[in-house]
Structure 1
Amino acid sequence: MSHQSLRPLVFWPTFFILLGAVIASYVDMEAFLAAAGHLNDAILENFSWLFSLGSLYLLGMAVIVYFSPIGRIRIGGASATPLLSPFRWFSITLCTTLAVGVLFWTTAEPLYHFMSPPSSSALEAGSSEAMIFSMSTMFLHWSFTPYAIYAVPALIFALSFYNLRLRFSISSMLEPMFGPRIKRYSGLIDAISLYALVAGMASSLGTGALTLTGGVNQYLGGETTPLRLGVVVAIIVTTFVLSAASGLQKGIARLSSLNALLLLALGIFSFVVGPTIFSLGLGVESFGVFLDNFMTKSLFTGTAGDDQWPQWWSIFYWAVWFAWAPVAALFLGKISRGYTVREFLRINLLYPALFACVWIVIFSGTALYYQAHTDIGLYAVLNDQGVENVLYTLFRELPLSTFLIPVLLFIAFISYVTAADSQTDAIGNLCTRGLTADSDLNAGLTMKVVWGVIVGLVAWVMVSFIGIDGVKMLSNLGGLPALAIVLVATGSLWVWLKHPESLTHPSQSTSHKRAS
């Protein structure tokens, strides 16, 4: 391990910015919130067009690459052996990207769109049109586009790291385009990406703590307090640090496989006992509307009608996915050795997106059915008791709920642990010097513990004292720099599309650069 050491330029800036944010929020909460709020509004107002266009562009890139000659290239070279079996690889991808977000939001989010559709859409709240709008919006937010935002940078990193033998750094994604001189800025690029990710990660850990605390409240009664949130965050952090310490093959892979099977079982059960025919009918009809209006919905910024809805929803989501993308790329790219580019795009984009579509049909369909056709006011639960209680209220209406709610809690817990585990793994690697495609890619325990604790602290402060809005702001502030890095990195794909042979014979790639 002696050749591996801390990269101070990557580690310290992010560490101090986050520490500063925590202290500032403690010293003067209102001033801190006002400042973060202004920054946040400025990002959304000035760049919503870029988030919308960028996310659609990445989906287009994925399709182009899939059908191009690059599609046949094997990650790591012709003789590379896979790190993971296809099922384990798929379950890790599914659990680390989707995590609990999809569990949490597929029941709560459709209620918002159904009961308060965009002001510029002229839809009546609670109408059948609003219901179709709601369901088709879920497909937009949770299926193909988010996975493209993850898969494309992950593929660029995998090919740079394994085929071109570049360093374990986000700047390696830019090197095929800018040449070796980009190395000078690698510390800065990695530090920006690290900040984006830690902000995004704290926000999702915050959401996770809320979901789990909501579940704990079902048993203990009472409200969600900072103390309860603190205990939940501490338990999540301890578990994922232990899991990250046991390494990829043991910790992350086992937890993810278990999680994927549990999710599958939960989905099938809910589908059978829920309003099956209603969900299928609504799902198919809404999927048609989603495909029909895909371009319009993807590029809806709300500017003409002065409508804030896209900034609260679609663009907020694109910002979150982008905040996670650069560092998620390191992790997803790292585990993809030995598979072809086409297999990579199927496992990282197509299959998880289809899984999410089925999940939306089941859970969003059930939530909309209960809101529209029964007297269980889920929307009222959402507004009065908070997002974290919608899922549990819904499950109480299904048979075997006494058995289901603990299972749900367990899935939520495992999902968070797997996602956080893979991200601390990547963060640790980013802050460590001397990792190559041939090393064991393990940054050591201290680094994972340090980042685990930092992320846990930031998440706890944010959720306990600032609430879910603070969490959203953190994500947006990380999303913009990450968006810039990811969009510029796609230039490397264009270089490879022009010269696919540079991926199979790296030595030639430099001569191309000189020639061009």
Structure 2
Amino acid sequence: MYNQTQQGIFKGMNRAMSCIALGMVLGTVVLISLFGEASAQLMQAVRTGLNPLLEWYYVLLVAFLLFFMIWLGVGRYKNVRLGADGESPEFTFFSWVSMLFAAGTGVGILFWSVAQPILQFQANPFMDASVSDAEAAVIAMRLSFFHWGINGWAIFSFVALAMAYFAFRHDLPLTVRSVLYPLLGERVRGRWGDAVDLLAVFGTVFGIATTLGLGVQQMNAGLREVLGWADSVQLQLAIIVVIMTLATLSVVSGVARGVRLLSEANFWLSIAAVLFMLLFGPTQYLIGMTIEATGDYIQQLLRMTFHTNVTHGSDWQAEWTVFFWGWWLAWSPFVGMFIARISRGRTLREFVMGVLLVPTGITLIWIGLFGGTALYQELFQGGGIIAAVDADVSTALFATVKGMGLHPLLAQFVSLMLILLISTYLMTSANAGTLVVTTLLSGGDAEPPVAHRLLWGVCLTLLTAALLLAGGLHTLQAAVIAAAVPFSVVVMAMIWGLLRALHEERFSPRDGARSAAPVEPWMVEDAQDAQAASATQEGPA
């Protein structure tokens, strides 16, 4: 592990990193609490100032990651294993897929699966006055698929693969800094390494806080629709406290038990929700819409990947693509480490195909059914969804259920099940995120101290509450975009580090069968490093 303290309250943690991270988060909470309106205005100003840069910078970065991951999955390194040669995967395929999907996009897709198609249906730069309502609905679905599809999962999969490769194949600690070992050498143990992992922590905590904030607002909307509870900041704060308490207790039990069981539970709940929409919604329309929108998405993927705002003169890209790519980047250390932990033993081909295609396919079906139901109501059943979304984005899902014409008791039951699903996804994301933050701050320890997991559960609760108090959705979006920018620079360095390490894998046979891993010259830069490496076979401690 990297620089673990051996005694005191920070035993098992990197003391310097923990103090800086705690100071950063608690300082942010205090500033936002004391100067809420000014803090919200500042974050919005930062977002506005960054948009012109990010409208092309994020486009190029995400496009490169997509093509880079496809190359890793089908190219010369596809048979390299994330672990020892011949090692079997730690989890079954079903458990693996359910965990990576639940921790990756579960909360966000519940929030946006109805709201985004409806908002895109009203206005986007890819349609004009000559487009019919039916064509506009397909375009809206395509754009929703784009922001939740393979491009975003390319970000997650790259960070996960890079960390898993260095952790399981070269026995380095499971942290972001380990990916830069080919570039920094032993300096990853010092301040440079600390700085890299702190940037990962910075992006992670704001990414989690954004997701939790969106989920809490949606739960509040659901409780209002079902139980008649009024919207209030106090209720939202109570929800986040309950969710984070349960999540923090769950994460103490570890990935193999608590997180896995919770992930599989909400995976089955998700399947039930999808089947309900398919059977009780406009089935023929939903199947046709999902198929047509998927084809449109595949055909237009290259164009959308490289779309910039320059030729359209609107703020659509800043409001949507910049936000979503920033959100995926901010979440990538958290989701990446979690996916890495559950992916030991898989080849690069299995990993890339699984992480890129399976969650993307599930996401397209989910948005196709939920978003398609909302669009059908708007097109053929008198509308009402647009008005609900424009009034409060967080009500979109429940307004759609209400508009399905179900028996009142059935509609209420379904809404309650969706509230339960939101809560389980929130807990899955929160407990995985808490574990990831403490793993980074402990120098890569897969089982960081329980006391610090509890402490960071409290810190994430406070940060989420502060951001909600400061202005809700727009403040959450601005915070995550700003937090993602520094880590995006680390991502580019990680690409270089992974390529340099994979260069030594060129000696492996094409069928993946290898007798021994090659000597990695990047691990030993001079005679002193060579002596240190021979004395410590498992890499930096």
* Partner of residue 137, structure 2: 131
Flag structure 2 segments of 5+ consecutive residues without an equivalent: 509-515, 527-541
CA shift, 1:317, in A, is: 0.1
Partner of 2:244: 237
Which runs of structure 2 are paired with 1:266-277 in the superposition (5 Å)? 266-277=273-284
Under a length normalisation based on structure 1, what TM-score does the superposition of the two structures give? 0.93
Deviation at 1:131, TM superposition (A): 1.7
Is 2:454 the counterpart of 1:444? no
Cα distance between partner residues in 1 of 2:149 and 2:29:
33
Classify the secondary structure of the residue corresponding to 2:447.
coil
Shift in Å at residue 506 of structure 1?
5.7
The 1:191–1:434 alpha-carbon spacing in structure 2 relative to 1, beyond 3 Å, is closer
The 1:2–1:320 alpha-carbon spacing in structure 2 relative to 1, beyond 3 Å, is closer
**Aligned partners of 1:320 and 1:479 also within 8 Å:** yes
* The 10-residue stretch of structure 1 (395-404 or 137-146) with the greater mean CA deviation from structure 2: 395-404
Return 336-345 or 171-180, whichever deviates more.
171-180
Residue aligning to 1:305? 312
Partner of 1:204: 211
Residue 176 in structure 1 maps to residue 182 in structure 2 = yes
Return the offset for 1:500: 1.1
Once residues 40 and 334 of structure 1 are traced to their aligned partners in structure 2, the CA distance between those partners, rounded to angstroms, is: 33
Q: Tell me the distance in 1 between the aligned counterparts of 2:369 and 2:439.
A: 38
Q: For the Cα contact (< 8 Å) 2:114–2:371, is it kept in 1?
A: yes
Q: CA offsets per residue over residues 54-102 of structure 1, 9 Å max, x none?
A: 1111111111001123221221111434332221111100100012211
Equivalent-residue separation in structure 2 for 1:123 and 1:194 (angstroms) = 46
**Is the counterpart of residue 458 in structure 1 residue 468 in structure 2?**
no
- SS of 1:84's equivalent in the other structure is coil
Give the Cα–Cα distance (whole angstroms) in 2 for the partners of residues 375 and 127 of structure 1. Answer: 14
1:78 corresponds to? 85
1:289 positional shift:
2.2
Q: After superposing the two structures, state which structure 1 stretch, 85-94 or 367-376, moved more.
A: 367-376
1:365 maps to 2:372? yes
**CA 1:27–1:7 in structure 2 vs 1: closer, same or farther (change >3 Å)?**
same
Shifted more, 192-201 versus 31-40: the winner is 31-40
- CA distance in 2 between partners of 1:123 and 1:54 (Å): 33
Distance across 2 between alignment mates of 1:125 and 1:462: 39
Q: Which residue of 1 aligns with 2:354?
A: 347
Secondary structure at 2:77 match in 1: helix
Asked if 1:97 is matched to 2:109, the reply is no
> Which residue of structure 2 lines up, in the alignment, with residue 318 of structure 1?
325
Which residue is equivalent to 1:477?
Answer: 482
Question: Could you tell me how far 1:434 is from its partner in structure 2?
Answer: 6.6
The letter for the 1-side match of 2:152 is P
CA gap of 1:430–1:132, structure 2 versus 1, over 3 A, is same
List aligned pairs for 1:3-152, cutoff 5 A. 5-118=12-125, 121-123=127-129, 127-152=133-158
Residue 410 (structure 1) aligned with residue 420 (structure 2): yes
Structure 2 CA distance for partners of 1:371 and 1:272, relative to 1, 3 Å? same
CA 1:200–1:282 in 2, change beyond 3 Å: closer, same or farther? same
Aligned length: 508
8 A Cα contact 1:117 1:124, kept in partner: no
Bigger mean CA offset, 67-76 vs 89-98: 67-76
- Residue 510 in structure 1 maps to residue 493 in structure 2: no
* Structure 1 segments of 4+ aligned residues over 6 angstroms from their partners: 511-514
Alignment RMSD (CA, Å) = 2.2
Matching residue within 165, 183, 189 for 2:171:
165
Q: CA deviation at 1:178?
A: 4.1
Aligned-partner Cα distance in 1 for 2:306–2:237:
39
Stretch deviating more after TM superposition (74-83 or 229-238)? 74-83
| Superposition TM-score, scaled by structure 2 size | 0.89
Distance 1:321 1:247 in 2: 24
- How far apart are the structure 2 equivalents of 1:433 and 1:97? 23
Equivalent-residue separation in structure 2 for 1:6 and 1:402 (angstroms): 47
Distance 1:116 1:222 in 2: 32
Stretch moving more, 299-308 or 470-479: 299-308
Query: Which of 183, 187, 191 matches 2:194?
Result: 187
- Residue 116 of structure 1 and its aligned partner are, at CA, apart by 2.2
Give the letter aligned to residue 173 of structure 2.
Answer: R
Instruction: Check whether the contact 2:154–2:356 (CA below 8 A) recurs between aligned residues.
Output: yes
Q: 1-side partners of 2:444 and 2:499: how far apart?
A: 29
Aligned partners of 2:361 and 2:483: how far apart in 1? 28
What is the letter of the counterpart of residue 120 of structure 2?
H
Shift of 1:342: 1.6
8 Å contact 2:244–2:457 — kept in the other structure?
Answer: yes
Equivalent position amino acid for 1:180 in 2: E
Compute the displacement of 1:264 (Å).
1.0
User: Contact 1:327–1:426 (CA<8 Å) still a contact in 2?
Assistant: yes
Shift of 1:502: 8.0
Whether 2:170 is the aligned partner of 1:154: answer no
Match of 2:533 in 1: none
The answer (yes or no) to whether the contact 1:123–1:130 under 8 Å persists in 2 is: no
Between the aligned partners of 1:124 and 1:482, the Cα distance in structure 2 is 42
Output the CA distance in 2 between the equivalents of 1:310 and 1:507: 46
| Native 8 Å contact 1:43 1:480 kept in 2 | no
Residue number in structure 2 paired with 1:500: 505
CA–CA distance in structure 2, aligned partners of residues 233 and 356 of structure 1: 25
Does 1:391 find its partner at 2:404? no
Aligned residue number for residue 401 of structure 1: 411
Matched letter for residue 362 of structure 1: L
How much identity, in percent, do the aligned residues show? 24
Alignment counterpart, residue 491 of structure 1, candidates 487, 493, 496: 496
Is the Cα–Cα contact under 8 Å of residues 251 and 431 in structure 2 kept in the other structure? yes
* Partner Cα separation in structure 2 for residue 450 and residue 51 of structure 1: 33
- Aligned equivalents of 2:276, 2:38: Cα separation in 1: 48
Task: Tell whether the 8 Å contact from 1:463 to 1:471 is kept in structure 2 after alignment.
Answer: yes
Indicate how the Cα distance of structure 1 residues 512 and 428 shifts in structure 2: closer, same or farther if over 3 A, else same: closer
* CA pair 468-506 structure 1, distance change in 2 beyond 3 A: farther
1:210-254: per-residue Cα shift (whole Å, max 9, x none)? 111111212332432111001100111011001101111110000
Amino acid of the structure 2 residue aligned with 1:474: A
Aligned with 2:310: secondary structure?
Answer: coil
On the 8 A contact 2:73/2:350 being kept in 1, the answer is no
Residue deviations 1:360-412, cap 9 Å, x none?
A: 2211111111112112311101122x122111111123333222111111111
SS at match of 2:354: helix
Contact 1:106 1:364 in 2 (8 A): yes
TM-superposition CA deviations, 1:127-155 (whole Å, max 9, x none): 33322220110111111111111001100
